[in-house]
């Protein structure tokens, strides 16, 4: 372990990377799901119970949510790497914040990175 390096920053970075990989995978699956559904089933043959169940709205919302989750995952991975390397506090905190949709692990990543702010060596 390097001199002066605490475990909070490393733990926050590792949590952000783990959550970011999970978000990236889940976002990719969510974005691909509408295409998989439309190729596996002929959606025009299903009866529509009215305006409340519009398949195009559901698939487009799923696509948008998947893309957003994948982008958050990429930012969380980059921020986690920055935290481990002690590169930029702002990028590390942004990555930890982007891991918040995961719940507990995201909250812990934000707390750990925020508490280890002094380890970056930047003037504030």
Where are the domains positioned within the chain?
7-41+55-115
Which residues lie below 8 Å from residue 65, measured CB to CB, with a gap of 6+?
27, 30
The answer to whether 121 and 87 have CB atoms below 8 angstroms apart is: no
Q: pTM for this one?
A: 0.80
Model confidence over 2-55: pLDDT tens digits?
Answer: 444 568 889 999 999 999 999 999 999 998 887 777 676 665 666 555 555 566
Q: Which residues contact 107 (CB under 8 A, 6 or more apart)?
A: 100
The pLDDT tens digits for 43-87 are 566 655 555 556 677 778 888 999 999 999 999 999 999 999 988
Helix or strand (DSSP H, E) at 81: helix 55-85
């Amino acid at each position: 372990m390097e001199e002066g390096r605490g475990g909070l920053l490393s733990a926050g970075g590792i949590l952000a990377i783990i959550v970011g990989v999970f978000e990236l995978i889940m976002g990719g699956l969510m974005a691909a799901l509408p295409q998989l559904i439309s190729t596996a089933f002929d959606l025009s043959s299903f009866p529509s119970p009215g305006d409340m169940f519009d398949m195009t709205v559901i698939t487009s919302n799923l696509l948008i949510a998947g893309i957003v989750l994948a982008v958050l995952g990429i930012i969380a991975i980059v921020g986690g790497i920055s935290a481990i390397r002690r590169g930029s506090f702002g990028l590390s905190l942004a990555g930890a914040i982007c891991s918040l949709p995961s719940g507990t692990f995201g909250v812990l990543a934000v707390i750990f990175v925020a508490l280890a702010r002094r380890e970056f060596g930047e003037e504030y």
